[in-house]
Structure 1
Amino acid sequence: MNSNYLNLLGLVYRARKCSLGEGNIIKDIQKKRAKLVLLANDIGQQTKKKMMDKCQTYDIPLIVLDVDRNTLSQAIGKQQRVAIAILDDGFANKVLSLLE
């Protein structure tokens, strides 16, 4: 597993270039502020479907990560987070390149 993107997610959070929480992420997707949405692999089916549908509608890239909610939460220093939306083009492109 490539943990470089997890380190970068911590930096994204500290730089305040992300949004957390289902409601905030949906709002950022609708306002086209979200540049990339990342989901933990153990996200609930309803939440996953809602996020995938919104991202598809608004043409925002979405990736289901190979990590669970605990690992994703630990990367950003919060508890019980299953989704993160990156709001900065530079960070989003770097995370995408690290995930390829």
Structure 2
Amino acid sequence: MTNKDKFLNLLGLATKAGKLVSGDETTVNAVRKNSVSLVIVATDASEATIKKMKDKCNYYETPILVSCTKAELSHAIGKSRAIIGVSDNGFSRKMRELMTVE
């Protein structure tokens, strides 16, 4: 099992635990309120979307990962999404570990 698989499995667990916010505006609002500890953006999201999220995350000092495709993220959380925010520190720490090791 690759780190990416483990990462996607963790996303599924975080979904079941209710520790995710997903979608454009919901995630941006959560970043503004400092209620997410990690933002994940799909690699195939539009360039404007990726830039907007990177700028927002840099401004609010929120870690951001641009990894996995929309299809992979959507499959992992059971909803069609390109942007996901993780509101749990434990989940986000483990996800960052998994995606920086590879």
Q: For this structure pair, what is the TM-score category when the shorter chain's length is used for normalisation?
A: over 0.9
Map 1:1-100 → 2, pairs under 5 A: 2-65=4-67, 67-79=68-80, 81-100=81-100
Q: Which runs of 5+ in 2 are unaligned?
A: none
Q: Report how many residues are paired.
A: 98
Q: TM-score, normalised by structure 1?
A: 0.93
Q: TM-score, normalised by structure 2?
A: 0.92
| CA displacement at 1:42 relative to structure 2 | 0.2
Tell me the distance in 1 between the aligned counterparts of 2:49 and 2:98.
Answer: 25
| CA displacement at 1:88 relative to structure 2 | 0.6
What is the identity percentage for the equivalent residue pairs of Structure 1 and Structure 2?
38
Residue identity opposite 1:87 in structure 2: S
Q: Which runs of 5+ in 1 are unaligned?
A: none
Tell me the distance in 2 between the aligned counterparts of 1:49 and 1:97.
Answer: 23
